[in-house]
Structure 1
Amino acid sequence: MERSEFLLESELNDIKAKFVKGGWVDIFRNGNTYSGGVFCYLIKSDHLSKHLETNEKAIWKGSEGRPSVSTYTLPNGEITRYSAFNDEHIEPFLYCKHFPEERYIDVSEEFVNYFKLYENGTSKQERKYYFLDDSYDKEEVIVITPEVVRVKLKFLKEYIAVRRMDFIVCFDFMAIGDVPLKDWDIKLKEEDYSNDWHNYKHCINVSFGSTEIQSWITGKLTIKHDPRMSLKTWYDSDYQYEEFIIGHDDESGEEILVACNSEDHKFFVPVFFKKGVLNKYYNDPDKYKVSGFGLSCNAFSVKIDNNNDEYVVVFLNDLQSLPYKEQLYWKHYNIAREPGMGISSSYYNTMIQGNWADKSGSIDIRFKQEYERFNKRWFQKFGWYFYKPASGSDISIFKALHLPTDNSIISFCNQMLAIVKFTIDSLNEEVLVKDLPKVDNEKGIAKFERFIKEKGLEIPDMISFLRHLQDLRSGFIAHKFSESSRSVKRAKKFFGMDTSSYREVASDIFIKSLWTINALTKYFLETPEEEF
């Protein structure tokens, strides 16, 4: 045992810090053979001064103040009263539950209900509580393990403020052993330390019935509530509305910024954003749904015009439906309108005129629309799917499939891997060649080519595109790149990768993939079956 360990210096530092570290407070520690650890409870503020006159604890683990029923004799007879807690000034915050089957710690339901916390974990012993903001983003508030319970300080401070109560952290630490007092220059002592926020004692003496020396710290401290916070709660804060660029001033040339709740600009004022604003939502397809006409999740929904390849448009007042945090995020991508920019015809006809939906002008949205429509029609006509339907995590990957919003090679590779997955890799190979002679080691594109030739069709441009796309995926994206690979060189030349940006190449691949769908639709779904 080291001198600092015996003197409990680490624990004394924790006490000075009120057990706060990195914005979290330790409100429970399990302790060890000698130490009781840490526990906590709430106390009414008008009782705090008297409570701090001693270092005794009002509540400790396993004695959290059970409800009581008391009978009083009054002049007009006896009366029985129920009290939620033994001491009207003290309220438990944690409950140590001990059962023959298991032991675990519960948190005050009042605290959980106040913040509407979401509980999740692997067991009662290991779990967490989360706060969900108005975007349904999760923030950890409480972490429970068998050894430690921590609570985020800002949530605790708000809770005790609105309750107008203070928070007590009580502690009991001990180190014991055959220590060289003289060599360490340590003297036996029993000292009390108290002020307006703590009261504890530190004893160093001979352990009872032993020759070992013990160092013992026991007492309590308080985290006081701030009266100024008592009127401000998480659920009734004033809602804010961000300003967005709606154009330029004709005289100064400065950008015009208008709040999205403006009463003077409430009808069809378009606001433009870089396409990259949607990356956050595409990257989390299990939470967000992005279409040509809207963005939605469990927390919010907003109408958007996502039918242009270069930008996204939202009417100014529609931005009100975004939580303020999301408004700030969107503002980062806000751009001024340039000549030639505007609302797409598909959005105008559908969302404003109320007509049946036009086909999207955005190539990625259009491709996904036609892909699903084609596969459904194929099944209706032939009784089997041309492309194997997505399942499991592939469903989310399909939802997130989009034209890269920038010229990043990472974005390019991710999206091209996805488009190959749903075209070449999803070909229903077994059914395509079910009635054809077997060919050993035949790959998917070759099976597809034999299938269409069997139907009397020759579509060399389509086969060439698919083979080059497969080579691009195999040698440039999915596996280690090799400059000496002839197939990769041919694929790069086919897609113009030496002269075009990654985004331009991706757009070309989407266009050719859409053309593949349209060509198959024309040849197989819009032609009587007996003609091929």
Structure 2
Amino acid sequence: MNIEKEKERLSQQKMLDSILHEPKPTEMLTVYFSDYGSGDHNYGIYCALVPIDQKEEVLSSYTWDLSIGSGIPGSCVYYDEGVETPEYHRFGSDNGVEPLVICREFHGFKDDYKEVCEEFRLFHNLYHDHINNRYIKIDDDGNEAIIIEIKSNHIQIRTKELKQFLAIKEMYLSIQFDCREHSLLSEDELSLDGKESSEESEFHIWTLAYGDFGGISEHQAFSRMLGKKLIKPFPKSKSGLYGFTKEEPKKYVDFIIDSDEVGDDVSYSSNPDLLANFFGANPEAPNYLTPVHFKKEVLDKYYGKPSKYAVSDSNLSCASLWGLQIDNHHDGKVCVWLGDLGRDLPYEEQLHWRSYNIAPSGGVSETYYKRQIMAQFTDSDRLEHVFKSKYSELQKVSTEKLGWNLLLPLNDEDIHHFECLRIPSTNEQRDFDDLVLGLTKVLIDSLNEKQLNKFIEKELRGGIKGGISRLEAVFKNNCIEEYENHIQFLRMLQNLRSSSSAHRKGSNYKKIATEFEIGSKDLISVFGGILAKSVDLLDYFIGVCSSAELQKS
């Protein structure tokens, strides 16, 4: 065994450096740690919230101010002239020390666990990710950040949010540590006599001592480092809490709104307060309703996260945090009013849109113009919008007329396939495959086979495989006309999914691709054609459900 390495390990310098390290606001700070190792060490870190005015008292002793398991509601009994008076204490004592981490223990009947105090979690309105046992903060722009990570023996909290909380509480966080290293060598072999050390400063205190187990363990020498380090609060002006923090003025991005006589871009601020309007404001400036043009790919970010964003006919939103009216009725671009960009988008989102900003070519769509300027109700003629409208109409008609859904509603895990259906913005194969997969989920995998079976004789049901064949049998048995082309389309779509999205592409894909004119047309146009046939299919389904043909099951 290398004596120098053992002495270095027992010095605990690495552990001390990590504890005394001053974390940056974005770093995660360890507030609980318990590691018994394989017998050669025993690390314990725990924390306590201590009032600002108790700083000197806390740093006057190496001992902990709050032990693990303490800090829960309790009571004390006081005696005044022989009269016994019990008193309730929320944190078990009246010394002002509070827990940040609470260790729950149930005497072996239930599993122990740790939790961060409710006040901190509510202060930052943290969402509990139960699967990963971590807490997430969602800011006003919709950005998510991990604030707390909880593991069985390790809890970390992001420093920024911790210091904001300390600022309002007018407290320090005392990081208490009791760390031990054990060695199979003796103190004499390690020459540890008189090696004890300690340090006191404005915000920490610690001591390191060596000892001998005296034969009660296979290990002989040990070192013990005991102490505390105080984490300082932010000023209250940086707490982020309304009334204490000065609100920062909103920032605005300049967008391209025109081209000059030599073809250079002309840009202007999206700050609504600097724009002209129809009431005489800023007459020399561009109008609030100046159309700004963007590549269609600007929306791909939002389609890629349907759990967070929603893109619909003329609208983009981020949950209930923000929303933007958009002109998404063009083949290759998206238009937005200049003033809306500044008024409705957070600054970070403005930067995203700016990266897709292009010089204007043409105007806004007729649909958008009628809605926004003429205040007329107008249906969209964009295929993705028409498809979703027809799908919703089918769900309503089939429920009202049949009493059941011809296409089963998608569950929460599959609804994104419907929400993200659109004509793609690029000719990327991956996007095309994903959209084909999504369309088959909506139109084929969702066919209500259980209800369709009721229109097929029992002895014939077992011989029919798959939803499309079942649907075909129902149409045929009920003498429903003009279904052949729609059934053929569904089979072709199913084959395209099977040969592209679901499996490696081979000779079968090339055959199916030819049928869809893939190769002779770009993928944007191909999927546009597929979506057009899908709209025709939904129209046909609506007509069938509206008739009396399927109402006699």
Question: 1:178 and 1:426, CA in 2 relative to 1: closer, same or farther beyond 3 A?
Answer: closer
Judge which range, 469-478 or 406-415, deviates more. 469-478
Aligned to 1:302: 324
> C-alpha distance in 2, partners of 1:298/1:11?
45
| 3-state SS of 1:281 partner | helix
> C-alpha distance in 2, partners of 1:255/1:467?
51
2:184 equivalent among 178, 181, 190: 178
Structure 2 gaps, min length 5: 278-287
Aligned to 2:530: 509
| 3-state SS of 1:245 partner | strand
Matched, 1:28 2:32: yes
Counterpart AA for 1:42? L
In the TM superposition, residue 392 of structure 1 has moved relative to its aligned partner by 4.6
Question: 1:199 and 1:335, CA in 2 relative to 1: closer, same or farther beyond 3 A?
Answer: same
In the TM superposition, residue 322 of structure 1 has moved relative to its aligned partner by 3.2
Aligned to 1:457: 481
Question: 1:57 and 1:466, CA in 2 relative to 1: closer, same or farther beyond 3 A?
Answer: closer
Question: 1:118 and 1:475, CA in 2 relative to 1: closer, same or farther beyond 3 A?
Answer: closer
Counterpart AA for 1:474? S
Question: 1:38 and 1:424, CA in 2 relative to 1: closer, same or farther beyond 3 A?
Answer: closer
Question: 1:175 and 1:246, CA in 2 relative to 1: closer, same or farther beyond 3 A?
Answer: closer
Aligned to 1:113: 122
Partners of 1:388 and 1:427 within 8 A in 2: yes
Aligned 1:356-367 pairs, distance under 5 A:
356=377, 358-367=378-387
| 3-state SS of 1:308 partner | coil
> C-alpha distance in 2, partners of 1:511/1:448?
21
Aligned 1:200-279 pairs, distance under 5 A:
200-207=206-213, 212-226=220-234, 229-236=235-242, 237-245=247-255, 247-248=257-258, 250=260, 253-265=264-276, 267-279=288-300
| 3-state SS of 2:237 partner | coil
Cα shift readout 1:213-243 (whole Å, capped 9, x = no counterpart): 22111111222335xx431233553252432
Cα shift readout 1:404-441 (whole Å, capped 9, x = no counterpart): 22221111101111112222444455628925794945
Matched, 1:48 2:55: yes
| 3-state SS of 2:177 partner | strand
Aligned to 1:376: 396
> C-alpha distance in 1, partners of 2:470/2:123?
62
| 3-state SS of 2:65 partner | coil
Counterpart AA for 1:48? K
> C-alpha distance in 1, partners of 2:470/2:25?
63
> C-alpha distance in 2, partners of 1:84/1:299?
36
Question: 1:428 and 1:70, CA in 2 relative to 1: closer, same or farther beyond 3 A?
Answer: closer
In the TM superposition, residue 151 of structure 1 has moved relative to its aligned partner by 0.9
Judge which range, 494-503 or 316-325, deviates more. 316-325
Aligned to 2:503: 479
Counterpart AA for 1:305? D
> C-alpha distance in 1, partners of 2:226/2:23?
14
Judge which range, 504-513 or 291-300, deviates more. 291-300
Aligned to 1:14: 18
Partners of 2:417 and 2:441 within 8 A in 1: no
| 3-state SS of 1:30 partner | strand
> C-alpha distance in 1, partners of 2:545/2:464?
30
Partners of 1:188 and 1:205 within 8 A in 2: no
Structure 1 gaps, min length 5: 74-78
Cα shift readout 1:25-44 (whole Å, capped 9, x = no counterpart): 11112353874611122334
- What TM-score results when the alignment is normalised by the length of structure 1? 0.82
Question: 1:58 and 1:379, CA in 2 relative to 1: closer, same or farther beyond 3 A?
Answer: closer
- What TM-score results when the alignment is normalised by the length of structure 2? 0.79
Aligned to 2:159: 153
Partners of 1:246 and 1:258 within 8 A in 2: no
Partners of 2:306 and 2:416 within 8 A in 1: yes
Partners of 2:456 and 2:474 within 8 A in 1: no
Aligned 1:278-357 pairs, distance under 5 A:
278-296=299-317, 297-319=319-341, 320-339=343-362, 341-342=363-364, 344-356=365-377
Aligned to 2:45: 38
Counterpart AA for 1:328? L
| 3-state SS of 1:59 partner | coil
Cα shift readout 1:324-367 (whole Å, capped 9, x = no counterpart): 3333333333333212x41x3333434554444x3323211211
Partners of 1:20 and 1:26 within 8 A in 2: no
Partners of 1:241 and 1:259 within 8 A in 2: no
Aligned to 1:395: 415
Aligned to 1:496: 517
